Amino acid sequence: MTEKKYVEEVFNYLHSIPEIGCNEFKTSKFISGELKKFGYNVMEGFAVTGLVATLDSGVKGPVLAVRADMDALQFELDGEKVNIHACGHDANSSMVLATAREIAEKGINRGKIMFVFQPAEEILGGAKEIAKSGVLDEADEIIGIHLRPIQEAKLGEATPALCHGSSQMMKVKINGIAAHGARPHLGVNVIDASALAINAINAVKVDPRVPHSAKVTSINTGDSAYNIIPSSATLALDLRAQTNDVMEKLVEKIKEAINNSVKAIGADAEIEVSTGVPAAEYNEDTVNLAREAITEVLGGSLSPIVTPGGEDFHFYTKFLDIKSAYIGLGANLVPGLHSPEMEFDLKALEYGKEILKRIVLKRVG
């Protein structure tokens, strides 16, 4: 079987067995079996279904990790819940597995190569669990790869630095005093307080040079009668920032804005902030390594692509002393990621595999 045929056959199989986060049992079993056939030492059970495959040259040298995510998305279509690989993680896993196959056949001359197959990217848990497990503590660098929509990169194009933003979620409970609609002066109206909070949130600005946003995405006051002023309201917020520093400042300013605004009419706020995902922080040398490989395969490289979307890959650099780069690969992908109708040109799989292989060989080959 040719390598081109192998990467496409793996993709077709993985595409046929979409599994959501921490439930990638068939996917993980298949990948593990293939890696063991190739001669890798495979460690399993990270974040339930994750696995790490290692090939050791026996010679001291760099330790490079290459990561793929495995999980699919769940949609409700025609009243039924359906799992679909609508973000291309089947493609990512196929490219990385095909790379592992070729590297095992060729061998490495120094250091180690570690192939990471990570679950639960979509629910933002897999990377954090693997990073905290200690299995990658000896890795010096980690490389990621992901297909991009056609608006960002076409087939035959790729960037060595896909610059994801940081995302956070915030839950705010605003407490007031319930009252009869005929006697509002006896209560503290949480709807008024919520309106003040929303206006205050919309007025927050941090750094005009760095894209960032905070917006209320839902408000709930319960299901009381029309003539009752409720005692509490719950707001959900989505926060985005292109750098981790701006996100930290944004969170603090939003907290301050909410607390000060609701206090103006006698309400108070309880604020919970999720862990979210960090923004990309790449290493110049690692990005240059990826750029060289992309240029050799495709004849050139795109500039870094900035995207407001989040990616849990960046937990690796948050929790580990590790350098990273993340490749955004063009594939003529339409209509977009997370669409159940998503499709792309399978030629991209061969390009991605070849880029990853060259990165590995440049570092440990």
Q: Is 89 annotated as a binding residue?
A: yes
Q: Is 122 annotated as a binding residue?
A: yes
Q: Is 163 annotated as a binding residue?
A: no
The angle subtended at Cα 210 by Cα 207 and Cα 216, nearest 5°, is: 80
Q: What is the torsional sign of CA 215, 221, 226, 227?
A: negative
> Other CB atoms closer than 10 Å to residue 173's CB: what's the count?
15
Q: What is the pLDDT of residue 3?
A: 60
Q: Which CATH number fits domain 166-273: 2.40.10.120, 3.30.70.360, 3.30.750.24, 3.40.640.10?
A: 3.30.70.360
- Two structure tokens written together for 322: 């590790």
Sheet holding 323-333: strands in order across? 41-46, 50-56, 112-118, 63-69, 141-149, 323-333, 158-159
Distance, in Å, from the CA atom of 334 to the CA atom of 120, rounded to the nearest integer, reads 23
Q: What is the pLDDT of residue 256?
A: 99
Please state the pTM of the whole predicted model: 0.91
Q: Where are the domains of the chain?
A: 3-164+280-364, 166-273
Q: What is the pLDDT of residue 4?
A: 66
Q: What is the torsional sign of CA 100, 102, 104, 106?
A: negative
Q: What is the pLDDT of residue 126?
A: 95
Q: What is the pLDDT of residue 359?
A: 99
Same CATH fold, 166-273 and 3-164+280-364? Answer: no
- CATH code, 3-164+280-364: 3.40.630.10
- Two structure tokens written together for 26: 């068939």
* Cis bond before residue 335 (omega within 30° of 0): yes
Pick from 153, 137, 138, 94: nearest CA to 353: 94
Pick from 96, 92, 110, 88: nearest CA to 38: 96
**Within 13 A of 219's CA, how many CA atoms are on the CB side?**
14
pLDDT tens over the chain, length 365 residues: 566 699 999 999 999 999 999 999 999 999 999 999 999 999 999 999 999 999 999 999 999 999 999 999 999 999 999 999 999 999 999 999 999 999 999 999 999 999 999 999 999 889 999 999 999 999 999 999 999 999 999 999 999 999 999 999 999 999 999 999 999 999 999 999 999 999 999 999 999 999 999 999 999 998 888 999 999 999 999 999 999 999 999 999 999 999 999 999 999 999 999 878 999 999 999 999 999 999 999 999 999 999 988 999 999 999 999 999 999 999 999 999 999 999 999 999 999 999 999 999 999 99
